[in-house]
């Protein structure tokens, strides 16, 4: 049996976003010292242990036999401007997540090609910034067959997002909700990762960080869709300084909100932070928008200054994190299969169902695409309708 480079074992664990303690538990080892001995070269892993690592680290078995660490996966373009700098742990988790998404997308594209359903989508890469915000916004509305009136007519923020997501998936773009690697221990805060676009002409993917506020999901979807129209693959964050990010933000905002509407908020110089936040909240709820998105548009329209925007943004982020923590402590977890189905999206679920029926996808590959074990695929496909 070929000799395993211990440093490759370290790389495989770290790139999966796992600490020594977390990996020890996942691998079923008696204690961290056992794993440290394997990673330090003091002991050789058994074939069974390597199979286990391959599964838990989400790596092909052959990758563990590489002579040295491979080059890091390509995130595409990094469009983010991170106010507090990058977090090493978050970057490791993001790389693992995006590697997983690329693998899913590759399987979907290959299945569509085998089924002779690899129809090129003409809108992918068809737009240019020079054409302007209005032109791209109008084209996106036309391709989706979806207007701001359609969005606002829905009964809630969640239903409005579901309608927008459905229109996007019907146009041929798969929309996933992912914010970790499968456990809450690997949660990635929206501060470091808002969304990701994979601008493929046959199977384009959009990933939205589900750890962000639900009200922000629609804006992120449209921001990433703008990147796909521009033919760009990459990762996005909040408050990007680059002209490209400002352009995509403005397109997403214009899709959902006309700048002239902002005057209705009535920002007064004498108003305090709490009062302004409350007015923004009322305005946003009525239009099924996120407060942070509305605040950003106030900033871009010179209706508030950067200092006030930062204060509002920090307050909204703190409230979002507190609400998420409160929700996780409330108990009563929703059905596992319904959650997984919702994260994958109805567009992806339907393709997987069709490809399994035709024999093109095995349950093993289907599980990889849907983010579940092969044994869970059939039950997921039978579970309730995706939101």
In a domain, 156, yes or no: yes
d(CA 26, CA 351): 31
In a domain, 182, yes or no: yes
Q: Are residues 352 and 257 in the same domain?
A: no
Q: How confident is the model at residue 351 (pLDDT cuts 50, 70, 90)?
A: very high
In a domain, 34, yes or no: yes
Full DSSP string of 120-171 = --TTTT---GGG-HHHHHHHHHHHHT--HHHHHTSSSHHHHHHHHHHHHHHT
Q: What is the pLDDT of residue 323?
A: 81
Express each pLDDT in 55-94 by its tens digit. 888 787 878 888 888 766 556 788 887 766 677 778 888 8
Q: Which of 340, 332, 350 is nearest to 375 (CA)?
A: 340
Kindly report whether the global pTM for this prediction surpasses the value 0.85: no
Q: Are residues 195 and 133 in the same domain?
A: yes
Q: Is the pLDDT of residue 303 over 80?
A: yes
Q: Is the pLDDT of residue 386 over 50?
A: no
Q: Which of 278, 162, 173, 160 is nearest to 228 (CA)?
A: 173
Q: Is the pLDDT of residue 53 over 60?
A: yes
Q: Are residues 324 and 193 in the same domain?
A: yes
Q: What is the pLDDT of residue 214?
A: 93
Q: Which of 278, 254, 100 is nearest to 180 (CA)?
A: 100
Q: How confident is the model at residue 271 (pLDDT cuts 50, 70, 90)?
A: confident
43 token code pair:
């002991």
Q: Are residues 343 and 221 in the same domain?
A: no
**Residue 369's domain spans which residues?**
336-382
Q: Which of 167, 213, 204 is nearest to 322 (CA)?
A: 213
Q: How confident is the model at residue 387 (pLDDT cuts 50, 70, 90)?
A: very low
Distances in Å between the Cα of 326 and the Cα atoms of 130, 259, 320, 332, 334 are: 45, 34, 10, 12, 15
* Arithmetic mean of pLDDT, 39-44: 92
Q: Are residues 142 and 235 in the same domain?
A: yes
In a domain, 122, yes or no: yes
Q: What is the pLDDT of residue 34?
A: 93
Strand partners, 77: 234
Pairing of strands 174-177, 205-208: parallel
In a domain, 70, yes or no: no
Q: Is the pLDDT of residue 318 over 80?
A: yes
Express each pLDDT in 210-258 by its tens digit. 999 999 999 999 999 999 999 999 999 887 778 899 999 999 999 999 9
Express each pLDDT in 132-188 by its tens digit. 999 999 999 999 999 999 999 999 999 999 999 999 999 999 999 999 888 777 889
Phi-psi region at 300: left, alpha or beta (left = phi > 0; alpha = psi -120 to 50)? alpha
Q: CB of 249 within 8 A of CB of 133?
A: no
Q: Which of 202, 213, 261, 259 is nearest to 238 (CA)?
A: 213
Q: Are residues 257 and 137 in the same domain?
A: yes
In a domain, 147, yes or no: yes
Give percent of the chain above pLDDT 70.
95
Q: Are residues 138 and 87 in the same domain?
A: yes
On the 0-12 / 13-18 / 19+ scale of CB atoms within 10 A, 163 is middle
Q: Which of 74, 70, 45, 46 is nearest to 59 (CA)?
A: 70
d(CA 120, CA 211): 32
Structural domains in the chain (count): 3
Mean pLDDT for the chain overall: 90
Q: Is the pLDDT of residue 1 over 60?
A: no
Distances in Å between the Cα of 68 and the Cα atoms of 8, 56, 133, 220 are: 6, 20, 46, 37
CATH classification at residue 44:
1.10.260.40
The domain boundary, picked from 41, 65, 89, lies at 65
In a domain, 73, yes or no: no
Q: Are residues 237 and 272 in the same domain?
A: yes
In a domain, 72, yes or no: no
Q: Is the pLDDT of residue 18 over 90?
A: no
Buried b (16+ CB within 10 A) or exposed e, 257-275: beeeebeebeeeeeeeeee
Q: Are residues 97 and 233 in the same domain?
A: yes
CA-CA-CA-CA torsion sign (273, 275, 279, 285): positive
Q: What is the pLDDT of residue 330?
A: 54
For residue 163, how far is the Cα from the chain centroid? 18
Phi-psi region at 145: left, alpha or beta (left = phi > 0; alpha = psi -120 to 50)? left
HSE-up of 263 (CA within 13 Å, CB side)?
2
Q: Are residues 342 and 298 in the same domain?
A: no
Q: Which of 364, 320, 321, 366 is nearest to 340 (CA)?
A: 366
Identify how many contiguous H helices and E strands the chain contains and give both numbers. Answer: 17, 5
Residue located via tokens 């480079």:
5
Give percent of the chain above pLDDT 90.
67
Express each pLDDT in 89-125 by its tens digit. 788 888 888 888 999 999 999 999 999 999 999 999 9
Q: Are residues 192 and 322 in the same domain?
A: yes
d(CA 330, CA 308): 33
Q: Are residues 96 and 207 in the same domain?
A: yes
d(CA 214, CA 218): 8
The domain boundary, picked from 37, 65, 93, lies at 65
Tell which wins on pLDDT, 209 or 385: 209
């Amino acid at each position: 049996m070929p000799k395993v480079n211990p440093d490759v074992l370290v790389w495989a664990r770290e790139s999966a976003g796992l600490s020594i303690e977390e990996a020890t538990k996942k691998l079923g080892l008696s204690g961290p010292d056992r794993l440290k001995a394997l990673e330090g070269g003091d002991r050789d892993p058994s074939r069974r242990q390597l199979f286990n690592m391959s599964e838990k680290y989400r790596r092909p078995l052959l990758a563990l036999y590489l002579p040295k660490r491979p080059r890091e996966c390509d995130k595409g373009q990094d469009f983010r401007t991170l106010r507090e700098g990058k977090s090493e742990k978050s970057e490791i988790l993001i790389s693992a997540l995006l590697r997983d998404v690329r693998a899913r997308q590759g399987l979907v594209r290959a299945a569509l090609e085998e089924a002779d359903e690899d129809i090129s989508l003409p809108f992918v890469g068809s737009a240019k910034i020079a054409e302007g915000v209005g032109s791209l916004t109008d084209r996106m509305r036309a391709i989706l067959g979806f207007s701001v009136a359609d969005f606002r007519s829905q009964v809630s923020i969640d239903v409005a997002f579901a309608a927008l997501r459905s229109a996007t998936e019907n146009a041929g773009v798969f929309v996933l909700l992912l914010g970790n690697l499968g456990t809450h221990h690997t949660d990635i805060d929206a501060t470091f990762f808002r969304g990701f676009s994979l601008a493929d002409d046959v199977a384009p993917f959009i990933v939205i960080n589900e750890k962000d506020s639900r009200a922000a999901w629609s804006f992120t979807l449209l921001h990433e869709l703008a990147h796909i129209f521009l033919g760009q693959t990459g990762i996005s964050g909040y408050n990007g300084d680059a002209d490209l990010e400002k352009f995509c933000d403005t397109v997403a905002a214009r899709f959902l909100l006309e700048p002239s509407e902002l005057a209705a908020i009535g920002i007064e110089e004498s108003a305090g932070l709490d009062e302004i936040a409350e007015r923004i909240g009322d305005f946003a709820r009525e239009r099924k928008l996120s407060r942070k998105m509305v605040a950003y548009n106030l900033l871009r329209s010179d209706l508030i200054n950067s200092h006030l925007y930062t204060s509002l943004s920090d307050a909204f982020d703190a409230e979002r994190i507190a609400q998420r923590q409160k929700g996780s402590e409330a108990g009563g977890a929703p059905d596992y299969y319904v959650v997984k189905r919702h994260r994958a999206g109805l567009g992806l679920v339907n393709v997987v169902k069709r490809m399994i029926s035709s024999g093109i996808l095995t349950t093993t590959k289907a599980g990889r695409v849907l983010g579940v074990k092969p044994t869970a695929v059939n039950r997921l496909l039978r579970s309730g309708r995706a939101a």
